[in-house]
Structure 1
């Protein structure tokens, strides 16, 4: 029997460990590579300018509302395995692991964000694969959900609408209606945004949130009458995009259309939320249609079934001093009970319910 490794599926931090690409800094996106769509903000690095992915003749290319500039830059070029190998050839010979000669050093411009050559490149076919590492969508979905809910509800430590975020607007000289107003005593007045909710609306919104996920297409309905139409419409389009890409059956033409749709959705969100909202996790959504095009439907790539199974194994632990033994013993008991229940007579189970 012969086995082949098609691609890996992991969260963003593990992505960096396996691929050898540092997922931090200005070039945190491994797909964009050296074609940097990031900008320096006061509190963080923002991944904006999703106009890169729009058609060259799109009207929003001329608009200065996004970052105060006209943007005709082409979209990032997706690198092949051969291109990656050429970049990795600039890495110097390093001793990995704990070694007395290992010291922190600054990477050269040719090394980009590469720190090592992945051991997977020892496979003769690895550099020929178009998709080598796939992003786990459950972590992307969670981070986007946290960003949106934290900003809408103005949760402390979660909201992206902060003083530094408002100062970012002054630095780029855009959206003057949201700039800070300075008082005589040196304090600032934070003006309301289109997504600002009163305490009454927050309470009614939280009641609707109870027991509902964000990206299941139901939550945006609860925003009607609470937020403005353009905010609700953009979030509903984002939820609809997730619904379409999570389908178990996808059509090639639909995936190509979703590549343009997600670019438009992110541009609409850029005109609503502040630049600090757009971290690298929000930016990675733009590449999900391409991964679905290469690796198949996202419903067969995400880690939801595995996470649920691991959660059930963790619940088997009764003795924390011997967790492996607890899991093994409980799993054997469960298998035995399942097997015996198939042959029970006079006792109704889901195996003999129809008898």
Structure 2
């Protein structure tokens, strides 16, 4: 029976499209899975996601039907192919956009044996793409990926993060510092399991691939031609740090194809709350040669190191950064010969690291500077101005950054001294100030803060006050003491909070800034 599919090219509001959609839903109803879901062929899902029938109906009605989906292989239609040597068995030939979903379906039906699963997947690819040269084994597939620069290097590490078994320590069987064995079990015969393994993805092959394509090579030249001309900053190339670097190293800046990199590192637990005894530290680089709409895309991020282990390396992370640091030094001092596919020329490419992008705890681990205690500021170092207040550290002395004639510099209300200031120690100052003004649950103006003012001998009008209240209990009068906090001039009263919230509610902001 021939199915009429001409309706998929009609407008969604036409009666023919509506009638064809109802017929399609009747067909789809017969091919739902155990969860009553079926592949959604709308123009956005493109059969990559399974949805409930009601959702599929709504998607197709609102978005339209995928016009390239002319053979309904996910909804019961068979396609017979006679030139692949499988004349007696109908097979489904998916489009390239649907290949990932087909592989997922096939893998889900196989057992958990990795080799058998790989064999089934490769067989499926060979049938689907008969003219392609699919590797015959998992090992050959990895080998081919490594040849084009998509592989990684496994480097064994000491159990206690002392050193890497790499370069001069490559042949070592025990750590030169703690004498711990490289292997989990030294008595195992055959393949032995290492204590820890660092995955290192070399940077140079990736940069070479970027210059091997005339499209990406053109983007790598953008920082030289796309600079701002109106004084506004749209890209790091328009910033002072970039320009100061160019003045300090004119030889590097002379070649616009030299690469500027940014490094980001942080850790996370892949098991969430289910397992606290595991840590992953990805080290990621991105290139700032490309336009702003490319350099910050996820596809432009380059994973260079993957540090795995039962615990965080913390201050010993420098041990694992050594392969990347050595390669960056080589790219800075010597460079590598690179072919530019856009201009069809060969040049010596150098690279440098512009800056790091980290939160404060990760920055402390990366630089080996403690992010806690009296000397936590990595900029001020030993000149950090700090005091210990109730149950926490407070970083003070910031009035010295005010104008020399500012009245606050001569005020004794802050900590009893001249030309000093006390500031909030919270990293998000704006949020802390707002919460304190609103006097909500996240306010910094709590009882402990008022006690700190009393201990420092400043602002006596804000000290906690004892209020005595007479109460009758069992026909006897008792005095009950209650400690209250005087209302601060910097916080809102209830009517003020109401007016402020009404004002914020009426503010209209651009999309994405709310």
Q: TM-score, normalised by structure 2?
A: 0.26
Give the structure with the larger strand fraction.
Answer: 2
Larger Rg: 2
Q: TM-score, normalised by structure 1?
A: 0.37
Give the structure with the larger helix fraction.
Answer: 1
